[in-house]
Amino acid sequence: MSNIGNSNNITRNYLDSLLIETRYINSTNPRLDFELFGERFASPIMTAALSHLEHFMFPGAAEALAKGAADANAVLWYGMADDEEIDQLASINPKMIEIIKPYTDRELIHSKIKHAEKKNLLAVGIDIDHPFGEDGSPDNVDGYEMTAIRTEELAEICAGTKLPVIAKGVLSVHDAEKCLKAGVSGMVLSHHNNRIEFAIPPLRILPKILDVVKGAIPVFVDDEIKTGMDAFKALALGAAGVCIGRPLMTAIKDDIENGVCAYFQKANAELGKAMAYTGCTDLSKMDPTVIHTI
């Protein structure tokens, strides 16, 4: 199969094209701690919203992800799951953000949000980038049909819950403006693991979206974030946090007990090194001018 147009490859190449300049004078050991929706975490490196881990991996994989994130004091994002699985993960790591698909049955969306409220989750989100299948027809996942979210529906979702609502899958100024109008509490820039070919890399569109957001809500970055250096590049360019996905699946396969926590610790150390070498002494001191393109 040809890799031409593969959005993961395009994103990876863009990330690798970003270079950093060093700034040692007056730098100190950096602080990585990060606050989100009233909770404090070890760093802004978080899990991606993985899902179906029992199917793609093995029993216990989802619990290992939740436990590893809890041990590392990292935000746990999780994707499509039934209420019983959400209950299990929330009992392991209550600092959790559940991402909900754009079900054609909108009542199912509201029902899942009500359940998330009962479990006192950190936030909920809507996968705005998952309404269509590969041929452009309505997507169908596990027997559930999907339909694109309208601005007024997203506004109704935001107004109808006490939880912060995050729009996941934003990759344009157009959608950013609609999400802001609807009242979301955050956005994740993502092409959802090559959901569409030739997608613009999230970090390339990030500055334009930040111009629209103007600091009103946090903007997170997904896709091909694998290391603390990748995280540093995103944070320096203005992202509030980053999500790591597939590398954590490998970490679980390699060490189901401690792999996830160890991966976070390594990534945090890499982030801390990059911050120290560039004079970014805490997250409020991140500076996009240390980033250059080839």
What is the rounded CA–CA span in Å between residue 239 and residue 189? Answer: 9
Return the CA Rg of the chain: 18
- Which of the residues 55, 130, 191, 192 is marked catalytic? 192
CB 81, CB 108: distance < 8 Å:
no
Handedness of CA 68, 70, 71, 72 (dihedral sign): positive
Instruction: Determine whether 52 is an active site residue.
Output: no
Q: Which tokens sit at 12?
A: 């990876």
Secondary structure (DSSP) of 249-275:
HHHHHH-TTTHHHHHHHHHHHHHHHHH
**All residues at 6 or more sequence positions from 174 whose CB lies less than 8 Å from its CB, including other chains:** none
What backbone torsions phi and psi does residue 132 show, to the nearest 5 degrees?
Answer: -120, 145
Reduced to 3 states (helix: H, G, I; strand: E, B; else coil), residue 99 is: strand
* Residue 26 vs residues 11, 67, 98, 268: alpha-carbon distances, Å: 33, 38, 41, 22
For the chain, list the strands marked E by DSSP: 18-20, 34-36, 39-41, 45-47, 76-78, 96-100, 123-127, 140-141, 144-145, 165-170, 186-189, 219-221, 241-244, 291-293
Contacts of 38 (CB under 8 A, 6+ apart): none
Residues serving a catalytic function are 192
